[in-house]
Amino acid sequence: MKRLNQTFLIFLMAMMPLFAMAQIDGEFIKPRSGKFLLQNATVHTITNGVMENASVLIEGGKILQVGTSVSADGAEVIDCKGMVIYPGMIDGGTTLGLVEVSSVAETVDYAEIGNVTPNMQALTTVNPNSEAIPVTRVSGVTTVMAVPQGGLFPGTAALINLVGYTPDQMYAGAKAVVMNFPNSGRRGRWDRRSDEEIKKETEKALKDANDLWQKAKTYHELKAKGAELEYYPEMEQLAKVISGELPLMVEVNAAKDIQNAIKWMEDKDVKFFFSGVSEGWRVADELAEAGISVITGPVQALPTRQSDRYDTPYANAGKMSKAGVKVAIRTNEAENVRNLPFHAAYAAAYGMGKEEAWKAVTINAAEILGVADQLGSIEEGKIANLIVATEDPFETRAQIMHVFINGYRIPLSNRHIRLYQEFLERSPDLKAN
Amino acid sequence: MKKINYILTALLGLSMQFAFAQTPKGSVLIKNATVLTVTNGTLENTDVLVQDGLIKRIAPDISAPKGVETIDATGKYVMPGIIDAHSHVALDVVNEATNPIVAEVRMKDVVNPYEIGIYRALAGGVTISHAMHGSANVIGGQNATLKHRWGSTDPADIIMQDAPRTIKFALGENPTRVHGRGNGIQPRSRMGVEAILRNGFSEALQYKKAWESFEATKNEKGSTAVAPQYNERLQTLVDILDGKIIIHCHSYRADEIYMLINVARDFGIKKLVFQHTNEGFKVAPEIAEYTMGASVFADWWAYKFEVYYSTAFNAAILQKNGALTSINSDSAELIRHLYHEAGKTQRYGGLTDDEALAMITINPAKQLGIDDKVGSLEEGKQADIAIFEGHPLSTYAVPQMTFVDGVKYFDITKDKDDQRQRISATETVEPIYLGHENHRCMQDTEHLFETANALFHTQH
């Protein structure tokens, strides 16, 4: 028996080099927290201008200090000479983490059965290990709104940071109840409903919305008075909008619908903002006058009407912003959220300007979602969501060199990069055939 | 009598000449630009002279010939018109999904010169698109190479008549879904796809042999040879085997790409381009060695299972392994900013400016067999030209003017508010489209998958 153990030990020793190799193969760089000093960069704070030769000190997940004379004080120093630092970008509307492969129904979790399901929680459905998350964050997008899709009230959206292994670790402190405002547009070329049918459906949906709103108000009032109510999760969730606990995220796109939505919200004393707003440029002044903020996009999209100028989707964000509307930009994507900086660049080039476009993917999104005290700019005390790049991260030729989310230094790897490493020079190559 | 015949013949000949000479050709002098020739480097402060639709000269300080308009392009970038090797723009119908092989159908028969997508592509600097049949069939229909001569009302005018024939093939999920799962016939699997290909080409060889033996014996004295029944489908496959048609094959996975390479080698087919090719990077050395390369998306992935194991570095890996690589749109939206899609090869793989620009100009031209005519700024080539404010690979670049055969079809300063060519009497006035079918590869097959489409997904 003892001898057997000895033999096994010797065998194990002999195997060591093999295990060592296996160890190297399986080596995994993990997100790492600690104290970091990002030194000597051009820091674009967004809210306090641009600082040359400045440094950012990070500890405990927060930005400790920003300035030109920050001492390392025991921090791990990362030389950022010649580079730029920006706050991590925020995508105000995505299905990231809610879908893995969109044509495989088993992996699609953003839409539930039913027209009124505000109690469906995007946050609990987010898959922290979605392949798309590491693919997204290396582009500099550090925070996204995960938004349920579907019926009139499809669910509750949640803001998540793209680091962590549980939804609670990822949660970035903002939720919103989603409403798809009754829509008079067509969903696509294959949508063959007649104008009459669309009108009828829209009117019915608006009546439903009114009835539901009334019901939610009643529910809220009764509850406030201490009534014992039957289990009614849909109303429970809608009542949180009535009470002001959660904002309403109103998805609305066609110009006429936007006007109707402005009118519909007029007498409702709740927190809300609009999303989508693809024809916002047609009614930009009305949006500005009503003081409604918008999360708009995608920017790289087709015009909504055949007759429209080809650049209307590119120019939309800028036109609303110029009219005085607070604008954030979204991709409305899942696996392509990494393109957010390019959507913002298009908005910048077609009238919005770089400065406003940067706000639209940082501080404006944070303000609209109610987390501007935590996210959206490089300021002392805020959460350390930062990106370091060789140049303007809106340019495709820029390389993102470092990403910090929640103070974690994020490994710049993902499946796309690993496949590049494996296949750039394949072994065996062609000759081994 | 005879004289009249001669005159009539001459007249007929002349009228045919007119028919071919109908497409407009322009002359223009573009002054003082940064000229991105793609094949001969970048030339600063250079002029480009276009006469009668052709590039006459590229040099500094050219003076304008009499009557030729001059455009001051100081501070602007001039590049070859962008070529999209995969598009469905200006097509009324995309799929003939009735049989695994429908080689006889032609996209030339369903070209719609009124489609606003043509103008939107021009506004993104795109002058040529490869209007393809869909991906419902293993061997689909024959594609049309279009020149974006916007404003013409004759479909024939926007077809590039001097481009070679190409045909659509498709492997993997789409043909197996349509035929195996939709109609209950082969192919249901990738095995079936290979069988359809090998059976089809073998039948075509028999057909060819039958005709050859008929042709060889029909003039013999007392010949009783009867001509085989003409079959357009098989004849088209014979034309592929004879190298008269370039295959453009919708494909994703490395195994199916490798399979088609082997089938092509077995049947002596050399004119083969892979489309989409998301896993092309895994067999990049084979693609480089045996084919005319791959035409890929810059970064699309994960929209279906067969593209889940993709990488945005695909184009760079293919390029660095020596495969001819282009970047395409397959989308009414992406076609509007292919210069930006090409720019992504710098984020994902660090390609040079010339390598990146080649992927939307000379490389797709080679894959379509038109690189002797277009795809770079060279004297003698057709004057398909785009002028940009800002370097076209910058995300802030804005296309300013686009020329086809020296004729200006897009000018940002003359862009109209209402961009339609005509108002249709039957279409709804101003329908508002909020969802976009980005990819139309599976258009016209929806009826087969009523339930699958319940969530309004477009299949690519």
Q: What is the pLDDT of residue A256?
A: 94
- Picking from B122, B311, B418 by the largest number of A CB atoms within 10 A of its own CB, the best residue to mutate is B311
Q: What is the pLDDT of residue B449?
A: 59
Mean per-residue pLDDT, B437-453:
61
- Whether B419 has a pLDDT exceeding 90, the answer reads no
- Picking from B91, B433, B455 by the largest number of A CB atoms within 10 A of its own CB, the best residue to mutate is B433
Give, for B42, the enclosing helix (H) or strand (E). Answer: strand B42-51
Which residue from A183, A302, A309 is facing B419, i.e. has the nearest CB? A309
Q: What is the pLDDT of residue B15?
A: 53
Mean per-residue pLDDT, B333-362:
98
Distance (Å) from the C-alpha of residue B335 to the closest C-alpha of chain A?
10
Cβ separation of A185 and B337 shorter than 8 Å? no
Q: What is the pLDDT of residue B12?
A: 57
Q: How confident is the model at residue B453 (pLDDT cuts 50, 70, 90)?
A: very low
The residue in chain B having the minimum alpha-carbon distance to the alpha carbon of residue A414 is B311
Q: What is the pLDDT of residue A260?
A: 96
Whole-angstrom distance between the N-terminal and C-terminal Cα of chain B?
A: 61
Q: In what order do the strands lie in the sheet with B165-170?
A: B139-142, B165-170, B245-251, B272-276, B294-296, B325-327
Q: Which residues of A touch B300 (CB under 8 A)?
A: 336
Domain boundaries, chain B: 23-80+375-415, 82-367+432-449
Q: Which residues of A touch B452 (CB under 8 A)?
A: 105
Cβ separation of A304 and B310 shorter than 8 Å? no
- Picking from A396, A399, A421, A424 by the largest number of B CB atoms within 10 A of its own CB, the best residue to mutate is A396
Distance (Å) from the C-alpha of residue A137 to the closest C-alpha of chain B?
14
Distance (Å) from the C-alpha of residue B210 to the closest C-alpha of chain A?
37
Q: How confident is the model at residue B452 (pLDDT cuts 50, 70, 90)?
A: very low
Cβ separation of A101 and B436 shorter than 8 Å? no
- Whether B435 has a pLDDT exceeding 80, the answer reads no
Distance (Å) from the C-alpha of residue A239 to the closest C-alpha of chain B?
29
Q: Which residues of B touch A131 (CB under 8 A)?
A: 302, 308
Mean per-residue pLDDT, B170-185:
95
Cβ separation of B431 and A186 shorter than 8 Å? yes
Residue with more model confidence, B2 or A312: A312
Q: In terms of DSSP H, where are the helices of A96-147? A: 122-125, 132-137
CB atoms within 10 A of CB A404: 27
Which residue from A104, A254, A417 is facing B434, i.e. has the nearest CB? A254
Cβ separation of A415 and B311 shorter than 8 Å? yes
Q: How far apart are CA A209 and CA A202, in angstroms?
A: 10
Q: What is the pLDDT of residue B234?
A: 98
Q: How confident is the model at residue B459 (pLDDT cuts 50, 70, 90)?
A: very low
Q: How far apart are CA A288 and CA B226, in angstroms?
A: 80
Q: How confident is the model at residue B443 (pLDDT cuts 50, 70, 90)?
A: confident
Cβ separation of A188 and B311 shorter than 8 Å? no
Q: What is the pLDDT of residue A194?
A: 85
Distance (Å) from the C-alpha of residue A8 to the closest C-alpha of chain B?
40
Q: What is the pLDDT of residue A28?
A: 80
Question: What structural domains does chain A harbor?
Answer: 28-87+376-433 (2.30.40.10), 89-374 (3.20.20.140)
Q: What is the pLDDT of residue B423?
A: 66
The architecture (CATH level 2) of B82-367+432-449 comes to Alpha-Beta Barrel (3.20)
Distance (Å) from the C-alpha of residue B197 to the closest C-alpha of chain A?
23
Q: Which residues of A touch B448 (CB under 8 A)?
A: none
Cβ separation of A186 and B390 shorter than 8 Å? no
Predicted-complex ipTM score: 0.93
The residue in chain A having the minimum alpha-carbon distance to the alpha carbon of residue B314 is A420
Which residue from B299, B308, B420 is facing A101, i.e. has the nearest CB? B308
Q: How far apart are CA A260 and CA A287, in angstroms?
A: 11
Q: What share of chain A is helix, strand, coil (3-state, %, to 5)?
A: 35, 25, 40
Q: What is the pLDDT of residue B14?
A: 54
Q: What is the pLDDT of residue B122?
A: 98
Mean per-residue pLDDT, B132-161:
97
Q: How confident is the model at residue B455 (pLDDT cuts 50, 70, 90)?
A: very low
B144's tokens: 């049309």
Distance (Å) from the C-alpha of residue A197 to the closest C-alpha of chain B?
13
Residue B130: strand pairing partners: B145
For B356-412, the pLDDT digits (tens) are: 999 999 999 999 999 999 999 999 999 999 999 999 999 999 999 999 999 999 999
Q: What is the pLDDT of residue A192?
A: 80
Q: Which residues of B touch A424 (CB under 8 A)?
A: 313, 316-317, 320
Distance (Å) from the C-alpha of residue A211 to the closest C-alpha of chain B?
26
For A82-126, the pLDDT digits (tens) are: 999 999 999 999 999 999 999 999 999 999 999 999 999 999 999
Mean per-residue pLDDT, B114-119:
94
Q: Which residues of A touch B349 (CB under 8 A)?
A: 420
Q: What is the pLDDT of residue A17?
A: 46
B235's tokens: 């004849």
Please enumerate in sequence order all residues whose Cβ is within 8 A of that of B324, keeping only pairs 6 or more positions apart, or say none.
B288, B292, B293, B294, B363, B366, B367
Nearest by Cα to A163 from A369, A416, A410, A381: A410
Q: Which residues of A touch B313 (CB under 8 A)?
A: 416-417, 419-420, 424
CB atoms within 10 A of CB B295: 30
Least confident span in A161-165, B12-16, B53-57, B283-287: B12-16
Distance (Å) from the C-alpha of residue A22 to the closest C-alpha of chain B?
23
Cβ separation of A304 and B417 shorter than 8 Å? no
- Whether B416 has a pLDDT exceeding 90, the answer reads no
Long-range contacts of A194-203 (CB under 8 A, 24+ apart): A195/B428
Q: What share of chain B is helix, strand, coil (3-state, %, to 5)?
A: 35, 20, 45
- Picking from A309, A391, A397 by the largest number of B CB atoms within 10 A of its own CB, the best residue to mutate is A397
Q: What is the pLDDT of residue B456?
A: 37
Q: What is the pLDDT of residue A20?
A: 45
Mean of the per-residue pLDDT values for chain B?
92
**CATH class of residue range B23-80+375-415:** mainly beta
Cβ separation of B396 and A348 shorter than 8 Å? yes
Which residue from A105, A185, A419 is facing B434, i.e. has the nearest CB? A185
Residue B184 CB-density burial (10 A; 0-12 exposed, 13-18 middle, 19+ buried): exposed
Q: Which residues of chain A have pLDDT under 50?
A: 1, 16-23
- Whether B428 has a pLDDT exceeding 80, the answer reads no
CA triple A113-A116-A117, angle to 5 deg: 65
